[in-house]
Amino acid sequence: MKARVIVTLKNGVLDPQGQAIEGSLSSLGFSGVSGVRQGKVFDLEVPGTDEDAARSQIKEMCEKLLANTVIENYAIEISH
Amino acid sequence: MKARVIVTLKNGVLDPQGQAIEGSLSSLGFSGVSGVRQGKVFDLEVPGTDEDAARSQIKEMCEKLLANTVIENYAIEISH
């Protein structure tokens, strides 16, 4: 089963990378761009065909490795 | 207008980060996980209400800064 995990910073957490990108975009002439936040996306495959089992396994992967749950949120998308 | 840009490596491009994560996941006991690929996600806001104009502006941002189009693909999602 294929899955995608999107990890983003929680609201209120400072995002210096996002701010740097916002600055670069405006110096490239893209005026008015705001709220730039950078996160991570993981594409992966897990064995089996049981979506619930896959979702709980991936949730555990997020909790243990893929996301720093103190400052990051994660969203799991599963496709067959 | 809010938008999300997802930047992922093109197929065939080596992903050492993804491989390292795959190794860590298996050493954490997540057996059978494969094809781990890591990418970037950018959330941002652009002015205006014209979706086509916003999409072409963001496409230009991707081509100039957010993605290395030699080795990366990008996908743009726009929400109102």
Q: Is the pLDDT of residue B6 over 80?
A: yes
Read off the pLDDT of residues A27-40 as tens digits, 9 standing for 90 and up: 999 999 999 999 99
Q: Is A75 on the interface with B (CB under 8 A)?
A: no
With a CB cutoff of 8 Å and minimum separation 6, the contacts of B7 are A41, B39, B40, B41, B42, B62, B66, B67, B72, B73, B74
What is the predicted pLDDT for the residue at B66? 98
First CA to last CA across chain A, in angstroms?
5
State the complex-level ipTM. 0.94
What is the predicted pLDDT for the residue at B16? 97
Across the interface, of B22, B30, B40, the residue whose CB is closest to A38 is: B40
Beta carbons of A35 and B44 less than 8 Å apart = yes
Q: Is B66 on the interface with A (CB under 8 A)?
A: yes
What is the predicted pLDDT for the residue at B4? 98
Q: Is the pLDDT of residue B10 over 80?
A: yes
Beta carbons of B33 and A44 less than 8 Å apart = yes
The 3-class SS string of A14-64 reads CCHHHHHHHHHHHHCCCCCCEEEEEEEEEEEECCCCCHHHHHHHHHHHHHH
What is the predicted pLDDT for the residue at B61? 98
User: Residues A39, A18: contact at Cβ < 8 Å?
Assistant: no
Read off the pLDDT of residues A16-66 as tens digits, 9 standing for 90 and up: 999 999 999 999 999 999 999 999 999 999 999 999 999 999 999 999 999
Read off the pLDDT of residues B31-55 as tens digits, 9 standing for 90 and up: 999 999 999 999 999 999 999 999 9
Domains and CATH numbers, chain B: 2-79 (3.30.1280.10)
User: Residues A74, A42: contact at Cβ < 8 Å?
Assistant: no
Question: How far A32 CA lies from chain B's nearest CA (Å)?
Answer: 6
- By residue count, chain B amounts to 80
Binning pLDDT at 50, 70 and 90, where does residue A80 land?
confident
